[in-house]
Structure 1
């Protein structure tokens, strides 16, 4: 059971209802988590592409990649190295959006708790 004092409940209530639109009180945390997961996956694939040629050889005991295919691999690695910073920006944006959704949800819970506290404290 979470205990709040009337003072902390009022502070939470005021923080929740002062300047926050009602649309922000119903965030989609699941959507934010999905976006973050997708951004992480995209970053992982980009980093894999960026460093594949650095960790593999064109010719070794397991494979012999033709020159034209190897040139495409090396070109993709170079492209992916340039894309990586944009993928990090996308990941940061997804993380920020998720944090905002979570904070909004917490604030809406604070508002609900404050309302309940006021109802309980009201004379009957």
Structure 2
């Protein structure tokens, strides 16, 4: 095989009209968002979503209705647990009570942060 035949394999037909030849340029790719929302369907994504929700809640970025409803729901649950623990006088129920108060500490931190940001905005 001579060199000319080998080069013709890679070059376009000379009989084609140069106006009909075109080059496809792909559209500009948008950069990936570094703060993309993880999927909640896999275990690690669910953990990331929970952490993100707790972080925004504890950082005071949650709306007031979320904080108030959280106090009502989680506070009511803890109040029921306290009453059960006191009435049954069982030390075993202190463990679930301690676990149930964790969301209240997150809500307390978020409420304090929200009130601090409100005070900071009023001073300006």
| Higher relative contact order (Cα pairs below 8 Å, separated by 6+ residues) | 1
Shorter-chain TM-score above 0.5: no
Tell me which protein shows more helix as a share of its residues: 1
TM-score (norm 2): 0.32
Q: TM-score, normalised by structure 1?
A: 0.32
